[in-house]
Amino acid sequence: MTPAPATVLVYVGLDAVGDGLMKLPFLRALRTAFPAARITWMAGKGHTVYAGVLAPLMAGLADEVIDDAGVGSRPAELFGRRPLAGRDFDLIIDTQRRLLTTLILRRIRHRAFISAAAGFLLSARRPAGGYRRPPAMAAQLLDLAALASGAPARPDAPRPADPAIAAEAARLLPDGPVYVGFAPGAGGRHKCWPLDRFIDVARRQADAGRVPVFLLGPAEAGWADTIRSALPQARLPLQEASAPSPMLTVALARRMAAAVSNDSGTGHMLALADIALVSLFGPTPAGKFAPAARDLTVLDAATWGGAGMDAIPADAVAQALNLRLL
């Protein structure tokens, strides 16, 4: 049996916030597969949010983050000094598919190399015949984790937690009620289901004795008064928080029984909490961008013959949410 790697290098080009959130299940799967390994995350062509705003989410999952390493772009890197000043790793996982970059990475000393570039041509391990790459980036990365470990990927490693942030979440959403989350924002208004329908479904939850919780980022702060006026019993914890952050959003989500979200960064934060999630899609492909939630229901506007978010009926969302709450 091949011994488990003691050192693992994961290469990415760069990570924006959405990328970082989608890649966390992959990182959790790696930690599950290699609990004793020293895992290094390297962004070769730009910055990674794991060295910035999402750094707290790496606690216990990665041991080192190399930001904007300047590795993997230039043909000249194929010659002369090896990348990373001669460091070596038991296992390198290349998450991108540009052949030049892969050839450069292979110059880093290693014992095993996993890469999907050129149809896994340069990879030490390859999928079985007939393999088809899944459309979702999260699923593609989990396939790489499975190849690296030789077993199905299990993103089961403990989620990062901060006691102070957990206490703040408990202050904002105290024990007792059943909380149901609603994340009506997104990176673009074209990805937003109508706010009045979010309020409609939230009102039905309130009528059933549950407490609606709206997660509003800075771009949606102007909706707070509308929501409070329509639903006085709703909670808006991020508007009451002393220091809103992605970690606090995840901590708040852990106190919810289920949630509804658009295709958004907040949706991926809700997925990290391992709660039941109803995810709404219209102009963006669900197959590619759906969050890696353990209990996920996707409602796509195409089901109702439309491409816009307003094609999704409120009754369908309410029914899907209730099924998750049974």
- Output the pLDDT for position 294: 87
Q: What are the tokens at 31?
A: 């930690």
- For residue 261, what is the enclosing H or E element? strand 256-262
Domain region containing 184? 163-325
**149, 174, 198 — which closes off a domain?**
149
Task: Answer yes or no: do 133 and 254 share one domain.
Answer: no
**Interhelix angle for 246-253 vs 265-272, to 10°?**
50
Q: With respect to residue 190, please indicate whether it lies within any of the assigned structural domains.
A: yes
Domain end: 100, 126, 149, which one? 149
Flag whether pLDDT at 295 surpasses 60: yes
88 and 175 within one domain: no
Same domain, yes or no, for 212 and 127? no
Residues 170, 313: one domain? yes
Q: Does residue 1 fall inside a structural domain?
A: no
Average pLDDT for 289-303: 93
Banded model confidence at residue 161, pLDDT cuts 50, 70, 90: confident
Distance of alpha carbon 48 from alpha carbon 113, whole angstroms: 22
Would you place residue 318 in the very low, low, confident or very high pLDDT band (cuts 50, 70, 90)? very high
Mean pLDDT, all residues of the chain: 95
- Return the sign of the alpha-carbon dihedral for residues 246, 278, 160, 54: negative
> Is 241's pLDDT higher than 60?
yes
Q: Is the pLDDT of residue 175 over 60?
A: yes
- Domain assignment of residue 158, yes or no: no
User: How many distinct structural domains can be found in the chain?
Assistant: 2
CATH code of 169's domain: 3.40.50.2000
Q: Which of 149, 183, 202 is the last residue of a domain?
A: 149
Q: Is residue 2 part of a domain?
A: no
CA 137 to chain centre: 10
Q: What are phi and psi of 91, to 5 degrees?
A: -140, 135
135-139, 169-173, 249-253, 312-316, range with the lowest pLDDT: 135-139
Same-domain pairing of 143 and 14: yes
Tell me if 155 is assigned to some domain: no
If asked whether residues 217 and 247 sit together in one domain, one would say yes
Q: Is 129 within a domain?
A: yes
pLDDT value at position 1? 54
Residues 276 and 206 in one domain: yes
Q: What percent of the chain has pLDDT over 70?
A: 100
> At which residue do the structure tokens 């195409």 appear?
302
Please write the tens of the pLDDT for every residue from 177-220: 999 999 999 989 999 999 999 999 999 999 999 999 999 999 99
State pLDDT tens for residues 47-66: 999 999 899 889 899 999 99
